[in-house]
A and B are shown apart, each in its own frame.
Chain A
Amino acid sequence: EPEVTQTPSHQVTQMGQEVILRCVPISNHLYFYWYRQILGQKVEFLVSFYNNEISEKSEIFDDQFSVERPDGSNFTLKIRSTKLEDSAMYFCASSDLGSSNQPQHFGDGTRLSIL
């Protein structure tokens, strides 16, 4: 069964540094998402992306965050100047139709640790 893959599985970064989290969505999917989950807490929506542009974003997704689909397969989340509170698990998800119609398939996540 096709999977969403995320790399790296664990990223340790100094506070203030930039970090890029990478995702390869399922190949025929058109909608891409980033979520974060602070340890022991709920899954929080960050952003959705369709047709090479952001379609929805949450209050969490401020100017420190950006997303990009640099080629036909990768979908990245960049955090420009990381803060301690950015430490969390970051999940990428994809769906072949919008979330109002189809479920999202999640990757295994990247655990981001900010020191």
Chain B
Amino acid sequence: GQQVMQIPQYQHVQEGEDFTTYCNSSTTLSNIQWYKQRPGGHPVFLIQLVKSGEVKKQKRLTFQFGEAKKNSSLHITATQTTDVGTYFCAGVRGYQKVTFGTGTKLQVIP
């Protein structure tokens, strides 16, 4: 079956440092979504990427979808303590089947 892997699994950064998580799918995706889950919370939608090579920005967050539509990345510039949580990519293949990635847990040290 489809697998979606993320690296790294954990990342500790000093506040103000940058952070990047990478997402790789074993199969070509229709689109990719990114979610953030705070400790003890539920996944919250951040963004969706649809087009090959697409880049989208949300303030300090930059999302990229690979040319082959099999990988994606999320980059956070100048992390803040509010960025703490686990970031999941979610690969959408077909109509309604969503495969979440393994997640990257971000810890920001003040």
**Interface residues, chain A, with chain B CB atoms under 8 Å away:** 31, 33, 35, 42-45, 48, 50, 55-56, 58-59, 91, 98-100, 103-109
**Interface residue from B1, B30, B37, B101 paired with A59 (Cβ < 8 Å):** B1
Asked if residues B96 and A91 are in contact (CB atoms below 8 Å), the reply is no
Q: Interface size bucket, B side?
A: 20 to 34
Asked if residues B100 and A42 are in contact (CB atoms below 8 Å), the reply is yes
Q: In angstroms, how far is the closest chain A Cβ from the Cβ of B96?
A: 4
Asked if residues A104 and B45 are in contact (CB atoms below 8 Å), the reply is yes
Asked if residues B92 and A99 are in contact (CB atoms below 8 Å), the reply is yes
Q: In angstroms, how far is the closest chain B Cβ from the Cβ of A99?
A: 5
Asked if residues B43 and A100 are in contact (CB atoms below 8 Å), the reply is no
A91 with B95: in contact, given A43-B88, A100-B30 (CB under 8 Å)? no
Asked if residues B101 and A42 are in contact (CB atoms below 8 Å), the reply is yes
- Complex-state Cα separation, A55 to B95, whole angstroms: 9
Name which residue of chain A comes closest to B43, CB basis.
A106
> A-B pairs with CB below 8 Å: how many?
62
Asked if residues A45 and B99 are in contact (CB atoms below 8 Å), the reply is yes
Q: Which 5 A-B pairs have the closest CB atoms?
A: A103-B45, A48-B96, A43-B100, A106-B42, A56-B97
Q: Write out the residue numbers on chain A whose beta carbons fall within 8 Å of the beta carbon of B95.
A: 55-56, 98-100
Asked if residues A45 and B33 are in contact (CB atoms below 8 Å), the reply is no
- Complex-state Cα separation, A50 to B95, whole angstroms: 11
Asked if residues A42 and B102 are in contact (CB atoms below 8 Å), the reply is yes
Q: In angstroms, how far is the closest chain A Cβ from the Cβ of B13?
A: 20
B98 within 8 A of A: yes
Asked if residues A50 and B42 are in contact (CB atoms below 8 Å), the reply is no
Contact with A along B65-96 (1 / 0, CB 8 A): 00000000000000000000000101010111
- Complex-state Cα separation, A44 to B44, whole angstroms: 15
Q: Write out the residue numbers on chain B whose beta carbons fall within 8 Å of the beta carbon of A91.
A: 42-43
Which residues of B from 1 to 60 have beta carbons under 8 Å from A? 1, 30-31, 33, 35, 37, 41-45, 48
